[in-house]
Structure 1
Amino acid sequence: MTIELPDEAATQRLGEDIAAVIRAGDVLALQGDLGSGKSTLARALIRALADEPDLDVPSPTFTLVQTYGTTPAIAHFDLYRLGHPEELGELGLGEDAQEGAALVEWPERAEGTLPPGTVTLSLSEYGEGRIAALSGEGSFRDRIERSLLARRFLDASGWERATRRRLTADASARTYDVVRKAGREPVLLMNSLPLVLGPVIRDGKAYAEIAHSSRTVHAFVAVDEALAQAGIRVPEIVAQDVANGFLLLEILGSEGILDADGQPIPERYEAAGALLAKIHERDWSPEIHAKAGFTYTIPPYDRDALLIETELLLDWFIPWRDGKPASAELRAAFKAEWNRLITRLEATEQSLVLRDHQSPNTFWLADRQGSDRIALIDFQDALIGPAAYDVASIATDPRVTISEELEAQVVAAYEKARNGSPRFDPESFREACAICAAQRHTKILGIFVRLKLRDGKDGYIAHLPRIRDYLRRALRHPALTDLRALYQREGILS
């Protein structure tokens, strides 16, 4: 694959495009003669990772290696003065490539000792500029090609010569970059690859099919339009390429519902709860006819989806905790009890379920009033299901410690906004809220362990004590007496 670089700025943008997708374990070998642009590209890549356009990035010609505490950490090697390939071990290339990423100039001096999966970028003069040739195999190569496709989307959407800076990744497979161009407000680039379904686990279906996870960016586009039409503040879609999974989104601001120390702001949580009342008072058609010319059908939050989510606890949490699979007896008792509770949920009010209504996915708009001060950014997995689900989600935010007092305030704010509605039954709602909270945090115990074991995201394990506490609260409800006994017997709450 070749990339034309007509000027130095284009070489710098290529560095930014690679910075947007480089991960720990990646090695980029930079080949080319003196003056071919290797250092220009390396400098741009490191500055993009650091988000410091003026960062001093000296050439490691004499030191051979220079390291940077970016995310991921990166080591910049210059092997021009390397005496022998065996010296690479002394320089720590293998260790650096495991703990972070590595850029290697003059890789030919390594004589085939670079690790598997290394991607090589060869730079050479081409007319008034340069040309870069990309070679290699593996996920890093695939990510670079995807990033270059994103750059073409930006260029075609009127954002040519824009800069990109990636945001911290969330728990999903999507990635986000902040895109800036002189004279324009910055926008957010969403890069959403089609969902990989994974192995078949039941009835010829993969987990994502049973759980009704969104497979393409079409879901985000359709639900964004539907929410906007209902008067809910969501990001404006500035440009879209739904076929390839790219969106340019309005940035709604920087204020969330947590304070500077990461603690919940009660007024904002109450507004986030009250916003749900506005959503639940509306009739939602499952079919959305998007402006882009496609029709999207919002899936149901049905029994199979609710049940397969709870079983994440059996599939991931229990084996991780016990060192062995969940027993057949536990699975049978677990499934029987959850089937009973799901039957009760099916009899409660049904509405649009955002499915992930929590602090990272909400913004605070101080210039508005009431629940309109809350903006939403994450809803592509929305379903039609129990209205109480999102109330339970925000009232017991999995990433933030919500006191019982604040939980009650959020629920009360929602109930006050629903007061007098003929479709709202407080007693039924309270029971549904408890069941949904128990379902959600049962699921999250499994998800957070899966993120550690499958995806290498260790930080989520720190949230498990809080999730157990939320479960204990939910299981106090009389409708959950039998589930509480099962969880206590199996040690899930301790």
Structure 2
Amino acid sequence: MIELPEGLEDFVARAGWSDAAIEPIPGDASFRRYFRLRRNSGETAMLMHAPPPEEDPKPFLKVASWLTQHGMRAPAILAEDAGQGWILTEDFGNDRMRDWLDDHPEGEQAAYEQAIDALVALHDLPPGPFPAYDLPVYLRETGLLTEWYAPAAGLEVDTDGYDAAWQTALAPLIARQGDGVTVLRDYHAENIMLLGSPFDHAPQGLIDFQDALAGHRAYDLVSLLQDARRDVSEKLEAAMLERYLDKAGGNADFLADYALLGAQRNAKIVGIFTRLYKRDGKPRYLAMIPRVWHAMERDLKHPALEPVAKWFASNIPEDLREKGGGTIA
């Protein structure tokens, strides 16, 4: 029998769902837990428990409200008690884009086209009232690689040189970023819900956006097209990047920024996935590191990444890089 969090039944009763059955849903890499409420009538809702102090549900509520007000498809908020970490939302169902594509590979092009078009719509909006995705944030994230991956791989690396290389490489991007756009930060096939078939142009729902910042419009493109959890072919990546550029515009500088943020995000993810294993005892993320590493190696070939590429060449042995990051102890 699964133990329910304290206060769940009281919150559900206050929200008017005391007659609903409670079905736990497997979680991912955080302290958040999810439950589906199901009434005999067939009506459902999604219950999220994001308990303080480990989690803070207020950013989710803020971003969801902003997205909805600006025509984006975030789940409607049915009830909330942010102080206790409870949020009851509209239920988007079970069809995550990734899962749907596992069963319908012929729909890949259509699904990704819609995901690109949603980004174009988001980037047509002024940036939301969110913190800036600025250089200190970028550097804090890239630092996860030297903080977690390097020692786990048994490497002693030049951390000062690493930070300096990233500062040099990212400086032109920061200058071009300006006020930016709303960056959801985890926009990929596991966080896009299909509310119908992409062949019918059904809308796609957004989830897991509570960490949104105001940053560069290439970031969520990288998140989608260099997916850490799903293989996206280079051919599809190129086609979807071209679709975005046709609709939203972009030049050689934008392509440089795409490569920069690809390497930045992938370096961060290598560090995060290592941390999930070493600190949190979640080894399943190790199997994803080679995919992320190989994408990062492609990004590092862009001339805009020259100082960072030189650091990798000097600090990460070639045999580890060829193995997609090598073995982590």
Length-normalised TM-score, structure 1: 0.60
Where does residue 36 of structure 2 map in the other structure? 178
Supply the distance in 2 between the matched residues of 1:392 and 1:313 (Cα, whole angstroms).
18
**3-state DSSP class of the match of 2:12?**
helix
In structure 2, distance between residues paired with 1:436 and 1:166: 36
Indicate the residue corresponding to 2:293 in structure 1.
Answer: 468
The question of 1:320 aligning with 2:152 is answered yes
Instruction: Please tell me whether residue 270 in structure 1 is matched to residue 113 in structure 2.
Output: yes
**1:249–1:20: structure 2 CA closer, same or farther, 3 Å change rule?**
farther
Partner of 1:9: none
Q: Residue 179 of structure 1 aligns to a residue in which SS?
A: strand
More strand by share: 1
Q: How many percent identity over aligned positions?
A: 32
Do 1:275 and 1:372's aligned partners in 2 also have CA atoms closer than 8 Å?
Answer: no
Q: How far does residue 20 in structure 1 lie from its aligned partner after superposition?
A: 4.5
Is 1:244 matched up with 2:72? no
Say whether the 8 Å CA contact 1:20–1:177 is kept in structure 2: no
2:40 maps to a residue whose letter is A
Higher relative contact order (CA 8 A, sep 6+): 2
SS of the residue corresponding to residue 97 of structure 2 reads coil
Higher helix share goes to which structure? 2
Counterpart CA distance in 2 for 1:467 and 1:260 is: 20
Alpha-carbon distance in 2 for matches of 1:262, 1:464: 25
Matched, 1:304 2:136: yes
Backbone CA RMSD of aligned residues: 2.1
TM-score by length of 2: 0.89
**Counterpart amino acid of residue 340 in structure 1:** T
Q: 1:225 maps to what in 2?
A: 65
**8 Å Cα contact 1:274/1:371 also seen in 2:** no
Rounded Cα–Cα distance in structure 2 between residues aligned with 1:397 and 1:481 = 23
Asked if 1:459 is matched to 2:302, the reply is no
Query: In 2, Cα distance between the equivalents of 1:369 and 1:276?
Result: 18
Write out aligned runs for 1:479-494 (5 A): 479-491=304-316, 493-494=321-322
Equivalence for 2:235: 405
1:102-121 alignment, distance < 5 Å: none
Structure 2 unaligned blocks of 5 or more: 323-329
What corresponds to 1:431 in structure 2?
A: 256
Instruction: Note the C-alpha offset of 1:341.
Output: 2.1
Which secondary structure does the structure 1 equivalent of 2:35 belong to?
strand
Q: Tell me: CA distance 1:171–1:248, structure 2 relative to 1, closer, same or farther (3 Å).
A: same
The number of equivalent residue pairs is: 314
State the SS of the aligned residue for 1:333.
helix
Superposed displacement of residue 368, structure 1: 7.7
Deviations 1:170-208, CA, capped at 9 Å, x for gaps: 112211011112225111110001244xxxxxxxxxxxx
User: Cα distance, 1:374 vs. partner?
Assistant: 2.1
CA drift of 1:348 comes to 2.3
Quickly say closer, same or farther: Cα 1:195–1:472, change in 2 above 3 A. Answer: farther
Residues 53-132 of structure 1: pairs in structure 2 closer than 5 A: none
- Secondary structure in structure 2 of the residue aligned to 1:375: strand
Which runs of 5 or more residues in structure 1 are unaligned? 1-14, 22-146, 197-214, 287-297, 420-424
Quote the residue 2:102 is aligned against. Answer: 260
- Structure 2 counterpart of 1:342: 170
Q: Distance in 2 between matches of 1:392 and 1:260?
A: 21
